[in-house]
Amino acid sequence: MKPCMLLAAVGLSVTSTLAGAQAQPPEPTRQQSKMAECNQAAGEMKGDERKAFMKDCLTDKQKAQQNKMKSCNAEAKDLKGDERKQFMSQCLKKTPG
> Is position 2 within any domain?
no
pLDDT value for 82: 96
**If we measure between CA atoms, which residue out of 12, 16, 14, 61 comes closest to residue 35?**
61
> Is position 87 within any domain?
yes
> Is position 65 within any domain?
yes
User: In b/e form, how buried is each residue of 39-52, taking b as 16+ CB within 10 angstroms?
Assistant: eeeeeeeeeeeeee
User: pLDDT for 48-90, tens place per residue?
Assistant: 999 998 888 888 777 888 888 999 999 998 999 999 999 999 9
| Higher per-residue confidence, 53 vs 96 | 53
Q: How far is CA 47 from the centre of its chain?
A: 25
Q: Is the pTM for the entire model greater than 0.75? A: no
Q: Which domain holds residue 95?
A: 32-97
Contacts of 92 (CB under 8 A, 6+ apart): 68, 69, 72
> Is position 8 within any domain?
no
Q: Is the pLDDT of residue 44 over 50?
A: yes
pLDDT-derived band at 14, boundaries 50, 70, 90: low
HSE value, Cβ hemisphere, 13 Å, CA-based, for 33: 7
Q: Is the pLDDT of residue 15 over 80?
A: no
Q: What domain count does the chain have?
A: 1
